[in-house]
Amino acid sequence: MPDTSCSLRRLEGDGNRFLLVDHLAGDSVGDPVEHARQMCADGALGIDGVLHLDRDGEGRLAMVLYNRDGSRPETCGNGLRCLAWHAVDLGYEECGSFELSTDAGSARAQVRRTAEGELEVRVSLGPIRIIEPVAVEGPVSEATRVDCGNPHLVLFGEDLPVEEWGPRLSRDPRFPGGINVEFVQVSAAGLRTRVWERGVGETAACGSGACAVARVAVERGLATWPVRVVLPGGVLTVSPCEDNDRLWLEGSVHFVDDGTL
C-alpha cells in the first residue's frame, strides 16, 4: 500500500496526467521516490508521475517531479502548467505573471481567466538549445540533440517504430543519464509527434519535448512560429519568448479529481 494518507489532486495537461502533492497545504509523503513508484505501479490511476509543490528559499513556487520509475527529471513543461493552474485555482498566486523554480532553474508562468471563468496557462521553458546532430543506427540516419533544461533527441521521418526505438535510443550509452526521444512527422495539421520519455515510457504529451521539436523544425525550415505540435493527448502551441532562447508553451489543463490516499 502507498506510504501516505495525504490529499492528492489529479491534473491533466493535454494527456499528461499527474498527481500533485501540495506541501503548501500541509501534505507530504514519507519517501517521494517509492511513493511515485507505488502510485504509478499498476496504471490504475493513469498517471505519468507525481508533482510536489512547495516554495523555495526566495518565496517562489517550486516544482519537483518524480517519474513513474521514481527518477527525478530536471523540469517538465506540462507539469509546470498544471502546477501554475493549481496555484491560481487555490489562491497561492493571482492571475498574471509569476515565477516558478525547478531543478533546471526558473520558469515564468502567465495565467489568465477567460470570460467563461476558465484558466488558461502558458509557461516559458528554456533556454532551448540545439546541441548537435547525432548519428542513429535505426529508423533514420540522423537525429538532433536538444537541451531544454532536460535532454531530448528529435527524429523526423514517416512511420517511425516508436515502441522499438524509443526505449533503445532513450537508454543509448551516449546519453548516460537517459534521454527523451521525439518521433516527428511533418503534416499540414502541424508536427505530429510521439514521445518516449525516460523513466516513464511513451506518454500522451510532453511539453519540453514539444519545445525541442519546435526549435529544431524552425531551424530546419520545416515550420514557422507559432508551431503546432500535435500529440496523442492534444495540441501544444510553441512560440518565441521575449527572454533569450526561451519558448512559450501553451495548451490545456484539466482538473481530473481530488482524493485521499
Is residue 206 part of the annotated active site? The answer reads: yes
Out of 82, 148, 206, 211, pick the active-site residue: 206
Can you tell me the distance from the alpha carbon of 130 to that of 145, in angstroms, rounded to the nearest whole number?
6
Is 22:7 a contact under the CB 8 Å cutoff? yes
Quick check: bond before 127 cis, omega within 30?
Answer: yes
Cα distance between residue 173 and residue 14, in whole Å: 31
Q: Could you tell me which of 58, 74, 64, 55 has the C-alpha nearest to residue 29?
A: 64
Sole residue written with cell 497545504: 25
Helix-helix angle 77-89:207-219, to 10 degrees: 130
The count of C-alpha atoms lying within 13 angstroms of the C-alpha of 7, restricted to the half-sphere facing its C-beta, is: 10
- Please pick, among 40, 76, 82, 211, the residue that the annotation labels catalytic: 76
Angstrom distance (rounded) from CA 136 to CA 103: 29
Catalytically active residues are: 76, 206
